A and B are shown apart, each in its own frame.
Chain A
Amino acid sequence: MVLGIPDFWIWSAFLLSILSAVACVVYGVMNWNKGADAEPS
């Protein structure tokens, strides 16, 4: 039972959703200034 949810398949989806959003934030912040290759029909 995690956060009131008994089924592993449900609470893992709940936590994975939050973790994947956190991963997006961490990746974006760590690479905030990378990839600037400003180019000049």
Chain B
Amino acid sequence: MLLPIVASVIYLFILAYLSLKAYRGTKTTQDYMLGGRQIHPMVMALSYGATFISTSAIVGFGGNAGLFGMSLLWLTFLNIFVGVFIAFLFFGKRTRKMGHNLDAHTFPELLGTRFNSRFIQGFSALVVFLFMPFYAAAVLKGGVGYLATTFNIDFNVTLFFFVMIIALYVSMGGMKGVMYTDAFQGSIMFAGMLFLLIFVYTKLGGVTQAHTALTNLMQEPAVQEQTAKMSAAGFQGWTSMPKFQSPYWWTVVTSVVMGVGIGVLAQPQLVVRFMTVKSNRELNRAVVSGGIFILMMTGVAFVVGALANVVFFQTEGKVAMVAAGGVIDNIIPLFLKNNLPGWFNTVFMLTLMSAAMSTLSSQYHVVGTSIGRDLFEKSLKIKGDSIIVTRIGIVISILVSALFAYVGNQLKTDIGVIAQATSIFFGICAAAFLPVYVGALYFRKLSKKAAIASILTGSIVSFIWIFFIHAKNASTIGLSKLLFGKPYLLAETAYAKLALVDAVIIAVPLSVIVLIVVALLTKPDVDEKHLDKCFNGIK
């Protein structure tokens, strides 16, 4: 018990040192919101990766891999190819340049100033403020749950101390504090996951042997008995895709893979990272460490989550889902606790603490700037100290997400609360922002009216689909039951199968169609001089 305490104290001291260093280097609004646009490429890549990957990916989606198997590796592929390669090269470079041209400090500000629209900036900030706490609560639950188990402390007490520490260093050091600590935390995460990968493959006799053992697991009568209910939902083993168009297939393909895999391109807390470096050279260099980092995070989490079934079966005669008592979010913590050496649990505790803190700090920072900079200062034109308003925004978002995490801890759902809340936020961002973001960067003539119509369509359709149509989300949230007496509106109707489809599959295409149709029906309404400024230096 002494080792985790000593390690945690040293870890917190290093965080305090880095935050203090950042605090001393933060003098202007640009420092506070963008790190002075002078961030080192390695720090930027680690910060992007550590922000992208949270306890949600490791505990939440890793646990999902324990249930759905290696089919989640399609998300790993999208995380690297779309989330790093496409994001840095096709979005990052233009975002950096346009953000610089327009002196934009945040993602809503980039969209708002690009179309000369205070409404776009204010509404985008409002979407971030309203829905980011869902995602933050998911990350909080993953981190706090693991810490509470490690230290044997009550969940709510751990939650309180955890959010207090993050609140302190985010509000103090601004973006520099967030990115310096991200880089430190990202390094710990990389080491922890690398060891976990080596440990599990070594324990199971090598890569091919481990995969073969996982494939053969389905031949065991005990496993067939334990997975009978899963098989009825489309499960065909941990090294096979779920049965085409089965409930499991819809969940894996639309909610987990597409929702998060595409949604990453329009994450406000990730987009703002592109604006913190001074030239495209830094982005070229950041791609190197970004790709390896994401492979080591989600690739390892999903492979280990699936292989946990072999280890659990060898040691307890149960598959992971049964061993974890039917709670997906408990699979990874339980696997680590039961199978890894004690000292490694300390290393992994720091890995998960880093994963949670690095993502939460960015989430809170982006909610704070959405309120302080985008909504009050720019959209509503309220005069005042935007850094103070930002800090108030950070405190509000922390309180709301802590409340959601507390409520989420009481829930038990079959995709896992952590992964569910994460895919909700990623899906909303994809539908509301992605079509407009692409248009803003690549289509000079796109009208302001088309941009507004697309953002509104994506947001409203996502909201309706998530809260009232999608079976799992609507049932978990409970608003449909409260208002209409049905867990979701399509329950017990001929269209019940449609309720398996994630909002992202419906809302993103609709948002794109509306953008194109309105763009064709309206004349360009952003003046040429402003467009010259936007696209200055963009080839």
In the bound complex, residues from chain B placing their C-beta under 8 Å from that of A3 are: 207-208, 211
In the bound complex, residues from chain A placing their C-beta under 8 Å from that of B210 are: 4
CA distance A20 to B288 in the complex (A): 11
CA distance A39 to B299 in the complex (A): 37
Does B321 sit at the interface, judged by CB under 8 A?
no
CA distance A9 to B240 in the complex (A): 7
Scan residues 2-40 of chain A and give those whose CB is less than 8 A from a CB of chain B.
3-7, 9-10, 13-14, 16-18, 20-25, 27-29, 31-39
Taking the closest CB of chain A, its distance from the CB of B311, in whole angstroms, is: 16
Does B383 sit at the interface, judged by CB under 8 A?
no
Scoring B76, B103, B284 by chain A CB atoms within 10 A of each residue's CB, the highest score goes to B284
In the bound complex, residues from chain B placing their C-beta under 8 Å from that of A20 are: 77, 80-81, 85, 291, 295
In the bound complex, residues from chain B placing their C-beta under 8 Å from that of A35 are: 93, 279-284
Contact assessment for A17 and B285 in the assembled complex, using a CB-CB cutoff below 8 Å: no
Task: Tell whether A7 pairs with B85 under 8 Å between CB atoms, given A35-B280, A36-B279.
Answer: no
Say whether chain B's binding surface is mostly helix, strand, loop, or mixed: helix
Task: Tell whether A34 pairs with B240 under 8 Å between CB atoms, given A18-B295, A21-B291, A24-B84.
Answer: no
Does B30 sit at the interface, judged by CB under 8 A?
yes
Contact assessment for B284 and A24 in the assembled complex, using a CB-CB cutoff below 8 Å: no
Task: Tell whether A5 pairs with B239 under 8 Å between CB atoms, given A18-B295, A24-B85, A39-B100.
Answer: yes
Contact assessment for B71 and A13 in the assembled complex, using a CB-CB cutoff below 8 Å: yes
CA distance A7 to B209 in the complex (A): 16
Contact assessment for B77 and A28 in the assembled complex, using a CB-CB cutoff below 8 Å: no
The interface bits of chain B over 61-78 (1 if a CB of A lies within 8 angstroms of the residue's CB, else 0) are: 000000001110110110
In the bound complex, residues from chain A placing their C-beta under 8 Å from that of B295 are: 17-18, 20-21
- Chain A interface size range: 20 to 34
Contact assessment for A9 and B208 in the assembled complex, using a CB-CB cutoff below 8 Å: no
Does B537 sit at the interface, judged by CB under 8 A?
yes
Task: Tell whether A37 pairs with B288 under 8 Å between CB atoms, given A17-B80, A17-B299, A23-B85.
Answer: no
Task: Tell whether A34 pairs with B281 under 8 Å between CB atoms, given A4-B207, A20-B80, A24-B84.
Answer: yes
Taking the closest CB of chain B, its distance from the CB of A4, in whole angstroms, is: 3
Taking the closest CB of chain A, its distance from the CB of B88, in whole angstroms, is: 8
Contact assessment for A24 and B291 in the assembled complex, using a CB-CB cutoff below 8 Å: yes
CA distance A41 to B89 in the complex (A): 26
In the bound complex, residues from chain B placing their C-beta under 8 Å from that of A10 are: 69-71, 73, 239-241
Nearest chain B residue, comparing its CB with the CB of A25:
B288
CA distance A6 to B69 in the complex (A): 13
Task: Tell whether A27 pairs with B537 under 8 Å between CB atoms, given A10-B70, A17-B77, A34-B284.
Answer: no
Contact assessment for A38 and B279 in the assembled complex, using a CB-CB cutoff below 8 Å: yes
The interface size of chain B toward A, counting residues with CB under 8 Å, comes to 48
Does B215 sit at the interface, judged by CB under 8 A?
yes
In the bound complex, residues from chain B placing their C-beta under 8 Å from that of A39 are: 100, 278-279
In the bound complex, residues from chain B placing their C-beta under 8 Å from that of A9 are: 71, 74, 240-241
Taking the closest CB of chain A, its distance from the CB of B78, in whole angstroms, is: 9
Contact assessment for B77 and A24 in the assembled complex, using a CB-CB cutoff below 8 Å: no
Nearest chain A residue, comparing its CB with the CB of B240:
A7
Nearest chain A residue, comparing its CB with the CB of B289:
A28
Does B339 sit at the interface, judged by CB under 8 A?
no
Contact assessment for A41 and B103 in the assembled complex, using a CB-CB cutoff below 8 Å: yes
Task: Tell whether A33 pairs with B281 under 8 Å between CB atoms, given A3-B211, A7-B240, A24-B288.
Answer: yes
Nearest chain A residue, comparing its CB with the CB of B288:
A28
In the bound complex, residues from chain B placing their C-beta under 8 Å from that of A41 are: 28-30, 103
Contact assessment for A13 and B211 in the assembled complex, using a CB-CB cutoff below 8 Å: no
Does B436 sit at the interface, judged by CB under 8 A?
no
Contact assessment for B239 and A13 in the assembled complex, using a CB-CB cutoff below 8 Å: no
In the bound complex, residues from chain A placing their C-beta under 8 Å from that of B241 are: 7, 9-10
Nearest chain A residue, comparing its CB with the CB of B290:
A24
Does B287 sit at the interface, judged by CB under 8 A?
yes
Nearest chain A residue, comparing its CB with the CB of B103:
A41
Contact assessment for A37 and B280 in the assembled complex, using a CB-CB cutoff below 8 Å: yes
In the bound complex, residues from chain A placing their C-beta under 8 Å from that of B288 are: 24-25, 28-29
Does B477 sit at the interface, judged by CB under 8 A?
no
CA distance A34 to B93 in the complex (A): 12
Q: List 30 A-B contacts (CB under 8 A).
A: A4-B207, A4-B211, A4-B212, A9-B74, A10-B71, A10-B240, A10-B241, A13-B71, A13-B77, A14-B70, A17-B299, A20-B85, A21-B291, A21-B295, A21-B299, A25-B292, A27-B85, A28-B285, A28-B287, A28-B291, A34-B280, A34-B284, A35-B280, A36-B281, A37-B280, A37-B537, A38-B278, A38-B279, A39-B100, A39-B278
Q: Which residues of A contact B (CB under 8 A)?
A: 3-7, 9-10, 13-14, 16-18, 20-25, 27-29, 31-39, 41
Other than A23-B85, A32-B284, A37-B279, give 16 A-B pairs with Cβ distance below 8 A: A4-B208, A4-B214, A4-B239, A16-B81, A21-B80, A21-B291, A21-B294, A21-B295, A23-B81, A24-B85, A31-B284, A32-B285, A35-B93, A35-B280, A35-B281, A39-B279
